Amino acid sequence: METGISAFLASLEADAEYSDSTRMAYANDLRVFLLFLQNTLPQAPQISDLNTQRVAAFIEGERKLGRQRNTLIRRLATLKCFSEYLVHEGMLPSDSLSVNDGDIQRVIYAVPASSPLQCLNQEQIESLLKIMEASSRPRGIRDRAIFFLLLETGLSVGDLTDLDMSDLDLRAGLLRVNLVEEGDVWLSMGDAKNAVDDYLSQGRPEILHDPGEPALFISQMDGRLSRQGVWQILNHWGHMANPPIALSPRILRHTAALRMSLNGYPVKEIQSRLRHRNPLSTRALIRRLQAVCEDDYQS
């Protein structure tokens, strides 16, 4: 087992897709699992001990130690990734963790969520849009376009603020972003197209001071809108709602991910838009969002 773990961690070191923090988290989770096996098995842990029964016992032990649900989910995601590596390298005959983890999931979701993930429901979305549409000020028109784009695409605030005018194909309803693995790709703006069109015709010209400014979204102080500026914009409109909503980029990304999942987007595409390095993280997020938010969103 220790040899397999060392080889797995070495493979992560050679893969630029994994950040230092991700590799450290994987190493810690595997160290804890190995220690569990050493303390509970009469012999040295073997690769074959990475099975559903042992992992379920490990997760149950972690639950009894008071681990939070998110920690248990991360532990399982690490072990699944490790299992997939071992199967790929011919060190494990089959990846039982990915096809038979019902007992493990029951243990995890018996733990109350410490901080439930939040999504906007349809009523909240319509309420926020109604408030923004009531504003004829250039800033309000801009903010509505920002809100719509984040909701439709799931892009990060950094991706949004990096957009230039040259990244738009308004006639086709597309915008260009760099998703690293795929390089430059054109994404549909969906229902955000009309809001962006309104911003370009009625909002941006009124805010713009420098005709040569390349940024799509600009601040009233001139120049490219900052990430902090987007946070402040969302916070402002959230407080305008009745009752107030703690609106943030994170909530919009979760809402976008849930909407994409319900609309049948492939996990790989959702993973790319959210910039997740590991598809297991995307699947885990979608499962949690469906468990916590789906009923409210569809109501």
Average pLDDT in the 284-297 region? 76
Are residues 96 and 236 part of one domain? no
Q: Is 172 buried (19+), middle (13-18) or exposed (0-12) by CB count in 10 A?
A: exposed
pLDDT-derived band of residue 277, with 50, 70 and 90 as boundaries? Answer: confident
Reported as a pLDDT band with limits 50, 70 and 90, residue 173 is very high
**234 and 86 in one domain?**
no
Please give the backbone phi and psi of residue 136, each rounded to the nearest 5 degrees, phi first: -95, 0
Tens digits of per-residue pLDDT, 198-207? 999 999 999 9
Q: How much is the average pLDDT of 14-28?
A: 78
Domain end marker among 59, 86, 109? 109
Q: Of 62-66, 126-130, 156-160, 180-184, give the lowest mean pLDDT range.
A: 180-184
Q: How confident is the model at residue 114 (pLDDT cuts 50, 70, 90)?
A: low
Residue 181 has pLDDT above 70, yes or no: no
Q: How confident is the model over 242-247, as a mean pLDDT?
A: 82
For Cα atoms 191, 194, 199, give the angle at the middle one, nearest 5 degrees: 130
Alpha-carbon gap, residue 19 to 35, rounded angstroms? 24
Lowest mean pLDDT, pick from 110-124, 164-178, 180-194? 110-124
Q: Name residue, tokens 């941006």.
A: 204
Greater model confidence, 115 or 38: 38
Mean pLDDT of 146-155: 93
Average pLDDT of the residues of the chain: 87
Q: How many domains does the chain have?
A: 2
Domain containing residue 201: CATH number: 1.10.443.10
Range of the domain at 245: 122-298
**Domain of residue 56, CATH code:** 1.10.150
- What one-letter code names the amino acid at 169? D
pLDDT digits (tens, 9 = 90+) for 226-244: 999 999 999 899 888 877 8
Decide which of 68, 86, 109 is a domain's last residue: 109
Identity (one letter) of the amino acid at 12?
L
Residue 116, domain member (yes or no): no
pLDDT > 90 fraction of the chain, expressed in percent and rounded: 47
Report pLDDT for 178.
Answer: 82
Name the percent of the chain lying above pLDDT 70: 92
Residues 130 and 267 in one domain: yes
Nearest residue to 275 via CA among 169, 178, 198, 172: 178
The pLDDT score that the predictor gives to residue 113 is 61
Chain centroid to CA 99: how far? 23
Question: Average of pLDDT values for 41-48?
Answer: 94
148/263 same-domain check: yes
The tokens of 79 are what? 């072990």
DSSP string, the chain: -HHHHHHHHHHHHT-TTS-HHHHHHHHHHHHHHHHHHHHH-SS---GGG-SHHHHHHHHHHHHHTT--HHHHHHHHHHHHHHHHHHHHTTSSS--HHHH--HHHHHHHHTSPPSS------HHHHHHHHHHHHT--SHHHHHHHHHHHHHHHH---HHHHHH-BGGGEETTTTEEEEE-TTS-EEEEE-GGGHHHHHHIIIIIHHHH---TT--BSSB-TTSSBPPHHHHHHHHHHHHHHSSS-----HHHHHHHHHHHHHHTT--HHHHHHHHT-S-HHHHHHHHHHHHHHHHHHHH-
Note whether 226 and 100 are same-domain residues: no
- CB-based contacts of 158, cutoff 8 Å, min separation 6: 227
Q: Say yes or no to pLDDT of 273 above 90.
A: no
**Is the four-CA dihedral 15, 185, 228, 281 of positive or negative sign?**
negative
Given a cut of 70, whether residue 297 has pLDDT beyond it is no
On the question of pLDDT at 100 being above 70, the answer is no
pLDDT above 90 for 142: yes
